[in-house]
Amino acid sequence: AQSVAQPEDQVNVAEGNPLTVKCTYSVSGNPYLFWYVQYPNRGLQFLLKYITGDNLVKGSYGFEAEFNKSQTSFHLKKPSALVSDSALYFCAVRDPSNSGYALNFGKGTSLLVTP
Amino acid sequence: DSGVTQTPKHLITATGQRVTLRCSPRSGDLSVYWYQQSLDQGLQFLIQYYNGEERAKGNILERFSAQQFPDLHSELNLSSLELGDSALYFCASSVTSTLGNTIYFGEGSWLTVV
C-alpha cells in the first residue's frame, strides 16, 4: 500500500520566519500527494496537491510544497509564518491499490508559530 | 466551509448503544468517504461509497456499517459501542474517485462513549 511518513511530531518556528513541515512517501508508480491542515476542533482543510507537472505546487494561505522524486519527499513550506498558521498538518497519498482510491494519511505534525 | 455537512457535531452515548452519523456531501459529489480520527490510531479510512454503491473498505469494524442513499447523503451506523469507539468521525466527499480528485472533509462528529 502507498504510505507517507511525517518524521516530526512538532515543529516550532518564530513568526515571520520560513517554515517547513516534512513528508516522505513510499509509493509504487506515480504519487498523488496532498496536504491538509486541521485547526483545533475543526475539520481537515485542503491546502494543495501534487498530481503531475511542476515540482513546486502553490496552495491556499500562502503555502507551497516541493515534490522531490529522487528524495521521495513532499515538504510543505511557507516563506513567512504567521501565528495563525499554528495547527496540525497532515500529508496524505492517494492509494490506487485501494479500489476507491482513499487517502492514506501520515500521523500529522503539530506546527507552533510563536510571536 | 468545505460544503460537506455532518450531523450531529457532538454525541455522548453509553456503551452497548447504537448511533447514526449523517453526512451530506458537497453538491455534485458522487463519492463519500468515512474516516475515524483518534489519538492512538490517527486518521483511519473506514469505508467509501460511490453513487450509492460500496467502493472500498478500510479498517471498518463489523459493528460498523454505512450506506449511501439515492440523494447521495450517507449514514455511518455504529453499534454495540465500546469505550474505544470514542473518536472524531469525518465524512468527506469528492466529485468522483479518480486519483487526482481532491477530497473535501466535513467538520466531523465527536462521539464520546461513556
What confidence score (pLDDT) does residue A99 get? 66
Residues A79 and A16: beta-carbon distance below 8 Å: no
Average pLDDT over residues A4-19: 97
Q: Hey, is B10 helix, strand or coil?
A: strand
Tens digit of each residue's pLDDT (9 = 90 or more) over A31-87: 899 999 999 888 899 999 998 888 999 999 999 999 999 999 999 999 999 999 999
B42, B45, B108 member nearest A107 (Cβ): B42
Q: Hey, is B104 helix, strand or coil?
A: strand
Tens digit of each residue's pLDDT (9 = 90 or more) over B15-53: 999 999 999 999 999 999 999 999 888 999 999 999 999
Cα separation of the two ends of chain B = 31
Average pLDDT over residues B77-83: 97
For residue A80, give how far its alpha carbon lies from the nearest alpha carbon of chain B (Å): 25
Query: What's the Cα-to-Cα distance from A44 to each of A14, A88, A114, B66, B107, rounded to whole Å?
Result: 24, 9, 22, 21, 7
Q: Hey, is B31 helix, strand or coil?
A: strand
Residues B3 and B26: beta-carbon distance below 8 Å: yes
CB contact under 8 A, B42 and A108: yes
What confidence score (pLDDT) does residue A42 get? 83
% of chain A beyond a pLDDT of 70: 97
Average per-residue pLDDT in chain B? Answer: 94
For residue A81, give how far its alpha carbon lies from the nearest alpha carbon of chain B (Å): 23
What confidence score (pLDDT) does residue B40 get? 85
Chain B, residues 22-61, CB within 8 A of chain A, namely 31, 33, 42-43, 45, 48, 50, 55-56, 58
**Chain A residues inside the 8 Å CB shell of B107:** 42-43
What confidence score (pLDDT) does residue A52 get? 84
For residue B88, give how far its alpha carbon lies from the nearest alpha carbon of chain A (Å): 9
Query: Higher confidence at residue A95 or residue B62?
Result: B62
Q: Is the pLDDT of residue B84 over 90?
A: yes
What confidence score (pLDDT) does residue A114 get? 97
**Chain B residues inside the 8 Å CB shell of A102:** 33, 45, 48, 56, 58
